[in-house]
Amino acid sequence: MAKASGPRPKPRPKEGKLSVYLYIPNIIGYVRVLMNSVAFAICFSNKRAFSVLYFVSFVCDAIDGWCARKFNQVSTFGAVLDMVTDRVSTACLLVVLSQVYRPGLVFLSLLALDISSHWLQMYSTFLTGKTSHKDVKDSTNWLFKAYYGNRMFMAYCCVSCEVLYIILFLIAKSQSSLVDVLLGTLQQVSLLSVLVALSLFGWAAKQLVNVIQMKAAADVCVLYDIKKKQKQ
């Protein structure tokens, strides 16, 4: 029997390194880095401009994820660029807050928790062979699963953190007392006090998730070592 003749499908062109670097979501990532660089360069001279640039950069974090899915341009480099930009941006803001509030150690401790929690989670992801650090289906903690399993809840917690930090920066005075500023703001009957209260709840939930995440990721690393020794 003769084989059916017809035009052969053209093979997909191979992607080079440059094409991946120029993915739309990755370009958005570069713009985020630029905006954050400018924002922190002017943070003490123009608080409002800093806040706008910082928040727009934060919003772009959601846009680049949408673009990656929309245009089928998901990449490991893009995921790493996204996470590094997020962590560095938040870390820089926490360092700034530690300089204008007392006790500054509060913000430095939050910085350490944020970085160590996410770094351990990423490392444990590679150890278990998962493709995403957000894959926590096997977790037994309901809050941890709810955070990564519900986009709306996760977005609320993340936005709450950034909004709270930006507000604290905007209303801060030199060497302000963190407790006094928070209590003074919450005691007022205003839109700002409502926004701070809502942000505090989401912020607290995210810090709790960070603690749970760090413990869960550390357990994965320990179990990996135990299994590795058992095979020897």
Distance CA 38, CA 54 (A): 9
Centre a 10 Å sphere on the Cβ of residue 211 and count the other Cβ atoms it contains.
Answer: 12
Catalytic residue among 82, 86, 135, 225: 86
Q: Active-site residue 86, yes or no?
A: yes
Q: Residue 102 in 3-state DSSP?
A: strand
Residues tagged active-site: 86
